[in-house]
Structure 1
Amino acid sequence: MNQSKFDRAKAWVKATPGAIAGQNGHGATFAVATALVHGFELTRTEAETLLCEYNSKCSPPWKPHELAHKLNQAQIVSHDKPRGWLLESHSITGQGGTPISPTGKFVVRKIQEIPKSDFRFSTIDFLKACFEPDEVVCICNDIVSDEEGRSRPASKGTFLKREEWIQNHFTPPISSMWNGPDSRGAYVRINPCLDESGSDSGVSAYRHVLIEMDEKSKDEQWTALKESKLPLSVVIDSGGKSLHGWVRVDAANKEEWAERRDIVYRHLESIGIDPKNKNASRFSRLAGVMRNGVEQKLIAVNVGAVNWEAFKDDLDAQDLPMEFTLDSIIEYDPKNDPDNLIGDRWIRRGSSLLFVGQSGCGKSSMAAYQGLKWASGADWFGVRPVRSLKVVYIQAENDIADQHDALKGAAQMTFGKENWERGLRNANMLFFRETVRTGADFAVMLRRLVRKTKADLVYIDPLLSYMGGNPSDIEVCANFTRHLLQPIMMETGVVLVLVHHFPKPKGKDDKPESVADLAYSGFGSSDLTNWA
């Protein structure tokens, strides 16, 4: 089901940084009021509700009569964009950018609505788009449902040649078993069949890979499929929550099919797809038939690249350095940077920070204090975030007792001795302990955690517990930071804060270090500082 106008506006407000006094706060808040009233076409009550949510992120918050005035003005001023323009296309994440991340992983940035057309594709159109005349196609309309209402095929299905299906079942007049009021839909295997086993070994042509992602709205799913540039034979509305994309991989055998399937899944992994569809004999929904009164609709045919080779060529071309075009450099607006998180672009999405100090000096407590401040939208020694940030703290050295003592102290510094507990509960900050995983294993866990929590900022404390090698070895250091951490930052926009310590003190006769020298004072390879 598509999101309502209110839900879409709510997601937009959630992703929009709060206004800050002295940084065009009046203009920023009026722009939000205008977007709610005019861009999303909300009622006055709906707009007031969401503007109050936005106000909770503003520093300082506006008074009620000030918010009411901005809504009044938004309703009466003239606008240069049509009413409802934000319902046609808007940012999912509040960020700008292209559909492909700098690492080559696919990332959706803009929602596009599913195209509407008076033309209706039929089941015959679907069958001709996906199968050859003499190929055996397996279709199943024998369906059972579990206690939660989830449907599945109750048999291996019926195996007929494509032309037999067309002539005997889908040439009008069509039986009510397919489109009548009692029809519960039908399934079709994504590849033609060699026998009636219904297994992967019974596939005669390894042509298609199935992808779906039913945790997103259908407009988001359509955008992901379309902008991925994958060679899609068809895109089908399942009649439920999901769209099904049939990726045409045209593999020579089962082994090549598996290789190409994995390429498809890696290409889409950053937006999340259903991992259960990894077999070549998988059932999808049959286009053109009715499912409990809703059509399993064929939305589009031949979307994206013309074939697998063209897609792969385009994918390989992305394996180049990220280009900043002259236009993008010239047109960048430093006063309107949606990726800015802290200060005057001191820390932007996808950047990093080293938090370095000598052993035993209280680095962890100070880092936790910094995180609590920024999670609360407050400044840390004058360094202020643009809004309350979602902060995650991963550490290796403290058990629950140590964590209590450290956090209590940091929370009392942040919220005061009387209010520290309430402030800590309300802070947008999560705490985790990881004592085993290092190197690549740690990076895999970190990627999952960032996606699950939607964190803006993640503290990794201490760095040496997770690097998995000698930090003085430039290859070890570069592999961990540039090859394991950097892709996560660029794919998700998360900021990583590495808590690290100085090497052992130098001799008493050594000269004091300059400020420039201190930049490289963390233990290990200088590449750590160069990366951060």
Structure 2
Amino acid sequence: MDSTYDLMEVLNHIDPSELDYQGWVNVGMALRHEGYSVDIWDRWSMNDRRYHAGECEQKWRGFHGAGTPVTGGTIVQYAREQGWTPPYDPGTALDWNDTVSAEGVIVDSSWVEAREVLQPKHWNPAGELIKYLETLFEAGENVGYVVKSWKKEEKGKEKWVPADKGAYGRTAGKLIELLSQCNGDIGSVLGDYDPEGGAWIRFNPLDGKGVKNDNVSDFKYALVESDLMDIEKQHAIIRELELPVACLVHSGGKSLHAIVRIDAADQAEYRKRVDYLYDICKKNGLAIDQQNKNPSRLSRMPGVMRSDQKQFIVDTNIGKESWTEWKEWIESINDDLPDPESLDDVWENLPELAPTLIDGLLRQGHKMLIAGPSKAGKSFLQIEMCIAIAEGKQWLNWACTQGKIMYVNLELDRASCLHRFKDVYQALGWQPKNLKNIDIWNLRGKSRPMDKLAPMLIRRAAKKNYIAIVIDPIYKVITGDENSADQMSNFCNQFDKVCTELGVAVIYCHHHSKGSQGGKKSMDRASGSGVFARDPDALIDLIELETTEELMKQQENRAVCDACRQYLDAHFKWEDDLSQDDLCSSVQMLNYCKEKLDKWQMAALERNIEAAKARVKGMTAWRIEGTLREFSKFDPQNLWFNYPIHVVDKSGVLGDIQPEADAPSWKKNFSKRKNPEEAKKERKESLETNYESILSFNNGEKVTVKELCEAMGKSEDTIRRYIKEHGGFWITDGEVGKKQ
């Protein structure tokens, strides 16, 4: 977890009682992954009535890591779900030097022309206030206001401030009715105010029970006020920004009070929108008083006097009509998106397509995802691809354009990574003629989240003339929750930035979700949000094929034949001695070799044959499927992973094999069925292992049938049957012991 968020601060915004059991465990796993102690998890867990002393420490000992670790991003996601709003959104990458974005800048305050604020021609105090109430409130909504004031000294200056909470139990409709009948004497309706201090009114409706933020019944408006510049300039900027102002009031002092439409659903959304509003105002030269953020805040009441100055309405319903319209307009002003173009203008002069990088799969400047389960050799597959591009050779069944490539290694230590490249070169049988075309950036233990890594990568790759960059694997650089579509969309946008800035293809790999994958489409196998599969221009997906014993015997036969041929080729001229059928029979080949070779040569050949058989035993079968945006769909490609390389199955023996989940249920069940002796042995070993584990956990104290039931996931009757079958345990009153 990078320093974008203080995890302890984020954790304080999560109520453990609102999480289910798995959510609680995930928080613990994330804290351990990020280097925190169990004490942090334990203290936080105490806020839940389900807390049990010692349970955190017990669980903590079982967190040994996983292929897909639970990171601090999970804690951030839980906090968001419970209403926490980060001080800023880290989803968008900053520039190399973290310069502040110009997004939202509409006005250059140093050039804006002042705009006059016109005084009302006819002073009608009651009319001013009635207009204010009719603009901001429904007839049945309660209005808060204060007319009493007192003078206090603040920073060496005297200032008039509200003397009390004021009134908050009268509706807008009632006030309008009374003001309409007061003959201009608003004091007879509201109470007399001190003309030196003026009067105040709350711009959001209240529940009639108080004047705190919790008493706000509808979060309609926010106050924008700045008294650090001329009032005419304030007026100009407010107009230029097209703020959705419901009512613009002259304070009778040095500022205008803009009552801006917010229309938030609740207080949490209100805070978020006000933060955004104030940020835009600040960027455009309108410094806002931060104390005005509260939804229950008082604003200057129009229709009253303040030190011989009128508090009056300047205008109503100016700028954009709603918050939504205004925000969309703001975000459209500074975007760097191109303007729409007419197809008619380019029809006879279409731009050239990006050059092909991998024939039939991927163009330069595009993105490709390689997805697959663990043990599929995804890293080796990407190394094979890097070498094929560097040498301008074929990768599996696809020809590659020759050029420079960067391999970003996030998982392996430097020595292991470099040895892998050499091992793959040797296994492919290729001469390393273009090693200068391969750059490796080793970042194990030094990686950053992708939004931070992208600008660093761009800086290092600039002017290197790469045609592709491989990032392996992406779980090391994921920011946010991989199941969140919007967060993963932000994450994948970083790849777009690398593609656009460098003009390179970006190739990365991701793991499959848990469970059987054979019954799913290739686009639905990758773990997390569907964004992963739908974002890249090319998706290459690997799924394992379940080989049969007969098939593996065929491969062993072929390996023996190949070993014999290779040895004979190195020592003799022999091809005309055997028929084509004999060349495909390991028995015939071995018989021929025994006649042809002396005992020393035969011993050397047998060593080669044993090594070949061992390699066959380690081989796994795979099928590559794909979804392409730029090219037509290719036929599934079958291959063997013969460590350390993948070899295309040219014989076609893998063509008829179905992935495990696609095979008929009777066939799957039959192949997994154990004979009675194997099943009995497995039950005995499971019972012994779980008994010893519980005994150790209980510090040598008793083990109960109930504990064995929980550990093994079986009923009490089943556990008792296992114990009786084993014969090496006794049971007394629910306690289990080992016989001497």
**TM bucket normalised to smaller:** 0.3 to 0.5
Normalising by the residue count of structure 2, what TM-score does the alignment of the two structures yield? 0.30
Which one has more relative contact order, counting CA pairs under 8 Å at least 6 apart? 1
TM-score w.r.t. length of structure 1: 0.41
User: Computing the radius of gyration over CA atoms, which structure comes out larger, 1 or 2?
Assistant: 2
